[in-house]
Amino acid sequence: MGYAAEQCATAARADGYARRAPEHTLLHRTLSAHWPAFVEQAEEAGGLPSFDATRLVAPEGA
């Protein structure tokens, strides 16, 4: 995340909204840990649906 994006993510809003940081949830950790194995098994069984799994996972280092 770049400097400007970090400022936006941490800046307080007048309406009191605060980002929930989903990357710190159990669901995110679980998906991150098991996603590669899931994709591998799905490929062996014919692949994932046409919605394209690349929309679900950011590339490493992104």
Interval 20-34: pLDDT, tens = 999 999 999 999 999
Whether the model clears a pTM of 0.75, i.e. scores above it, the answer is: no
In a domain? residue 39: yes
Residue 9 resides in a domain: no
Q: Is residue 13 part of a domain?
A: no
Residue 12 makes CB contacts below 8 A (sequence gap 6+) with: 18
**10 within a domain of the structure (yes/no):** no
Q: Is position 62 within any domain?
A: yes
Give the mean pLDDT of the chain.
78
Q: Is the residue at 8 inside a domain?
A: no
State the average pLDDT over residues 1-6: 56
Q: What angle do CA 51, 24, 37 make, to 5 degrees?
A: 45
**Domain tally for the chain?**
1
Radius of gyration from C-alpha coordinates of the chain: 16
Of the two residues 32 and 3, the one the predictor is more confident about is 32
Instruction: Please tell me the distance from the alpha carbon of residue 35 to that of residue 57, in angstroms, as a whole number.
Output: 9
Give the pLDDT of residue 46: 92
Measured distance CA(45)–CA(29) in Å, rounded: 25
Domain that includes residue 33, residue range: 21-62
